[in-house]
Amino acid sequence: MSEEHVSMWKHLGLNLTAHDALLKVLGDAYTDIYLAQKQRPDGMAYFDFVMSEVHGLRIKELLDEKEQGRKIIGSYCVFVPEEITLAANATLVGLCSGADFAMEEVEKYLPRNTCALIKSALGFKLGKVCPYLESADMVVGENTCDGKKKAYESLGPLLDNLYVMDLPQVKSDQGRTLLRSEYERFKVAVQDLTSVTITHESLKKAIQTVNAKRMALHRLARLRKADPVPISGLDALLANQVSFYDNPARFTESLNKICDELEKRIAANQGVSPKKNPRILMAGCPMAVPNWKLPWIVETSGAVIVGEESCVGERGIRNLTDDTGTTVDELMDAITDRYFKVDCAIFTPNSDRLNHIEEMAKDYQADGVIHYGLQFCQPYTMEAIPVENALDTKGIPSLRIETDYGMEDAGQLKTRIEAFIEMLK
């Protein structure tokens, strides 16, 4: 790695030894899991480059933006509207939470029985290995699940810039009112941070930028309906993961180029996986970089993943924000309406999600659904049971997996997943 990068990380206060170790693990995993794949679209070279520089050039870009007066806002959840941050001249980035780090230290703050994603978020802070977190001028937490809600109480004192957003639990009028008012409060906080007043024009433009990113991801999703499927689930997941980190406009352009390539593949009836291989829909918890364990096991066990019902996937990008409002308030209403549709398992009841999973299984011609629950993630592990029952009623085979970020259960998972895939053939 370049001296410039090292100096940048040092300046950000990272623990260089620990950070080197993390990059080594990340690089090795990427080589073993991503680069080992065959018949990848040429356009994935862009994402290979992005990943190789995910703690390097991308951080430099963010720091350059800061030099020019732009603010960086970090978040852990798809309920934080990128539209509002962009409109106030701030960049939104997803924060590291996809790998175990500094676990001994973490368990001084959080019980062992906390989900890996939450422990990871704290571990990256305590281990001083997340350059995104250290670059952020504001970190946004949100009251989604109990685990995150209470964990921010521990994370807060370790940061000097944590902003916590409240969220509703029910899709009632009261719930929408709460979300609307929380987005208004967030808008004011972002404006205060950036000293930029959001205008109708800037908000409309931001909505269009974010919608364009979503539409590129929709396009990618649509192309995966083809049989044979032209791109692996791992590569499609990566595109969704990178969408949380990358410059939105560049991301959109790069992804659209890949989609052009995929269209040619489809026209040539060219797939990334033989037609006979079962098609799998993954549903459940988000998979943050470098949490590739489960899709890697699935796709090296004779199946291909055709869709992700996940925040890092279709749940996160399903709906566009209406940009036709003629005032800031109208656009804020549209933003609220858009995010209020997100069918996260923190809501009760959450029947929309069951319907969406069924629809996706049908639309993507999935032969089976694997429900991925992070161990100790109560909302998703609890909802996995009604999901399984609903799929059962429709005759759609499903497999319920509960796991964490460790590799100890990889062998056992592979056995179960292979058996499931065998059954689908």
In angstroms, give the least distance from the CB of 177 to a copy of itself: 8
Residues 98, 103, 106, CA angle at the centre, nearest 5°? 100
Min separation Cβ 351 and a copy of itself, Å: 9
Separation between Cα atoms, residue 311 and residue 391, nearest integer Å: 20
Q: Which is nearer to a copy of itself, 175 or 228 (CB)?
A: 175
Q: How far apart are the first and last CA of the chain?
A: 46
Q: How far is the CB of 50 from a copy of itself (least distance, A)?
A: 34
In the region spanning residues 311 to 350, those forming contacts with a copy of itself, defined by CB under 8 A, are: 345-346, 348-350
Count of other CB atoms within 10 angstroms of residue 354: 20
Least Å distance, CB 171 to a copy of itself, is: 10
Q: Over the range 166-199, which residues count as b (16 or more CB within 10 Å of their CB) and which as e?
A: ebbeebeeeebebbbebbeebbebbbebbebebe
Shortest distance, position 208 Cβ to a copy of itself, whole Å = 30
Is residue 147 a contact residue for a copy of itself (CB under 8 A)?
Answer: yes
Of 179 and 226, nearer to a copy of itself (C-beta) is 179
Taking the complex as a whole, the smallest distance from the CB of residue 357 to a copy of itself amounts, in Å, to: 15
Check binding of 111 to a copy of itself (CB under 8 A). yes
What are the CB-based long-range contacts (under 8 Å, 24+) for 377-383? 377/115, 377/117, 377/145, 377/147, 377/285, 378/145, 378/146, 378/147, 379/144, 379/145, 379/344, 379/345, 379/346, 380/284, 380/285, 380/345, 382/345, 383/345, 383/350, 383/353
**220-279 residues near a copy of itself, rule: CB under 8 A:** none
In the bound state with a copy of itself, the residue whose beta carbon lies nearer, of 172 and 270, is 172
Using the rule CB under 8 A, which residue among 379, 387, 401, 405 binds a copy of itself? 379
- C-beta closer to a copy of itself: residue 9 or 376: 376
Separation CA 27–CA 329 (nearest Å): 45
Torsion angle of the four alpha carbons 115, 129, 317, 228, in this order, in degrees rounded to the nearest 10: -90
Supply the DSSP symbol for 162: E
DSSP 160: S
| Shortest distance, position 287 Cβ to a copy of itself, whole Å | 20
Q: Which of 196, 212, 180 has its CA nearest to residue 137?
A: 196
Between residues 111 and 411, which has the closer beta carbon with respect to a copy of itself?
Answer: 111
Residue 345 Cβ vs a copy of itself, minimum distance, rounded to whole Å: 7
The 354-373 contact track toward a copy of itself, x by CB under 8 A, reads: -------------------x
Strand order in the sheet with 398-403: 304-309, 279-284, 368-374, 398-403
Residue with Cβ nearer a copy of itself (39 or 177):
177
- Using rule CB under 8 A, residue 114 touches a copy of itself: yes
# residues near a copy of itself by CB under 8 A? 45
Interface positions, 149-208, toward a copy of itself (CB under 8 A): 149-154, 164, 166-167, 169-170, 172, 174-175, 177-178, 181-182
Contacting residue, 90, 145, 297, 396, with a copy of itself by CB under 8 A: 145
Q: How far is CA 193 from CA 36, 72, 131, 308, in A?
A: 43, 10, 20, 34
The reply to whether 375 sits near a copy of itself by the rule CB under 8 A is yes
H or E element in which residue 373 lies:
strand 368-374
Buried/exposed 356-394: b ≥16 CB within 10 Å, e otherwise: bbbebbebbebbbbbbbbbbbbebbbebbeebbebbeee
* Preceding omega of 228 cis (within 30 degrees of 0): yes
* Segment interacting with a copy of itself (CB under 8 A) among 65-73, 192-200, 309-317, 377-385: 377-385
Q: Shortest Cβ distance from residue 405 to a copy of itself (Å)?
A: 17
Helix (H, G, I), strand (E, B) or coil at 172: coil
Least spacing, CB of residue 378 vs a copy of itself, in Å: 4
Residue 156 CB, shortest distance to a copy of itself, in Å, is 8
Closest C-alpha among 367, 340, 338, 342 to residue 353: 342
Q: Which of 124, 186, 376, 405 binds a copy of itself (CB under 8 A)?
A: 376
Residues forming contacts to a copy of itself in the complex (CB under 8 A) are 108-111, 113-114, 143, 145-147, 149-154, 164, 166-167, 169-170, 172, 174-175, 177-178, 181-182, 345-346, 348-350, 373, 375-376, 378-379, 381-386, 402
